[in-house]
Amino acid sequence: MDVMFYEAFAEEQGALEQRLPPSVIAGFTPQTIQETRHKTPLAALISVRTQSVIPPDWGPLLDGILSRTTGFDHLVSYRAASGEDLPCGYLEDYCSRAVAEQAVLFMMVLLRKLPLQQTQFDVFDRNGLTGREAKGRRALVVGVGRIGSEIAGILEALGMEVRGVDIAPKREMTYVSFEEGMAWAEVVFFAVPLTEETRGMLTREILASNEQKPLIINVARGEITPVPVLLRLMQEERLGGVGLDVFSDEVVIAGSLRSPGGYNPVVNEVYQLKMMDNVILTPHNAFNTQEAVARKAEQTVRSLEMFLSERRFVNMV
């Protein structure tokens, strides 16, 4: 086998199979590496997303790892853990628009209380369903890179007042400090990469000066807005709502939800959030549009073909 694909959901596998040349022998599974319980790699070249935990002792047995993501912090961590200077690759931007649209969708759903509207349809009750319009509201975009720029553009088109937080501003807009923005915003979008500086960025203290009960939306990395912090803020009624496509401890949460059994305090906190009327959670799926999956498959195959012939990826970590 030339390459083994982990975490390949049905539509993605179909797109990859359609584009892979007949000469490349590939294996596919929707499971993570740990869910398959593979003791050794089935191919010297493997491709993962973000939830697979690659065993450190696989390092000497692998020729390379391609992550089908634009983020690659998990590959950097794996090389450090394994002690192997393995060739690792990642993809170019393929889903910024898709992720941005889902982030804005979260906002609209929460502003209009859509989960509660659906619940009360059965009795056709409008009490407590009065929502808010987006136009004129104050939105903070934390991380104005490719995804953040797309989010800001959509928000401006909706007539919102938008400010950004970024250490290296690229898009023309008003920028503020994180502290100033968090005191000002009615809606906060997190689209910043995960670094030591952004890990645990959202705290109860940072919201001390904001009395507006802002909406918190995260489509970046879950560690930036830890679930325990969000849950406590929601229980204290200091937030107007939460929209998450990513989660702290996502590997544990995803594995537990796919194979339930026994009490797990991390999953329990997620379920407490999920049961609230002003919370929307999705399974790290914001990237998943037909257009983005097609771009993703094309980039993946191009990078794999380069590696098989030249031992390097299009985008090297």
Each residue's pLDDT tens digit, 194-238: 899 999 999 999 998 898 999 999 999 999 999 999 999 999 999
Contact assessment for residue 41 and residue 54, using Cβ atoms and an 8 Å cutoff? no
Each residue's pLDDT tens digit, 232-273: 999 999 999 999 999 999 999 998 898 877 668 889 999 999
Q: Which residues are 187's β-sheet partners?
A: 139, 215
Residue 244 CA neighbour count, 13 Å, CB half: 23
The pair of three-digit structure tokens given for residue 282, joined into one six-digit string: 């999705």
**142 and 214 housed in the same domain:** yes
Contact assessment for residue 272 and residue 227, using Cβ atoms and an 8 Å cutoff? no
Using 70 as the pLDDT threshold, list the residues of the chain that sit under it.
Answer: 262-263
> If you search the block for the tokens 């790290």, which residue do you land on?
284
Give the range of the structural domain holding residue 243, as residue numbers without chain letter.
Answer: 96-281
**30 and 84 housed in the same domain:** yes
How many whole angstroms separate alpha carbon 246 and alpha carbon 227? Answer: 10
How many domains is the chain built from? Answer: 2
**233 and 107 housed in the same domain:** yes
**122 and 210 housed in the same domain:** yes
**113 and 90 housed in the same domain:** no
**77 and 107 housed in the same domain:** no
pLDDT computed for residue 262 by the predictor = 65
**62 and 111 housed in the same domain:** no
**CATH number, domain with residue 135:** 3.40.50.720
pTM for the complete prediction? 0.92
Residue 251 forms part of a structural domain: yes
Residue 316 forms part of a structural domain: no
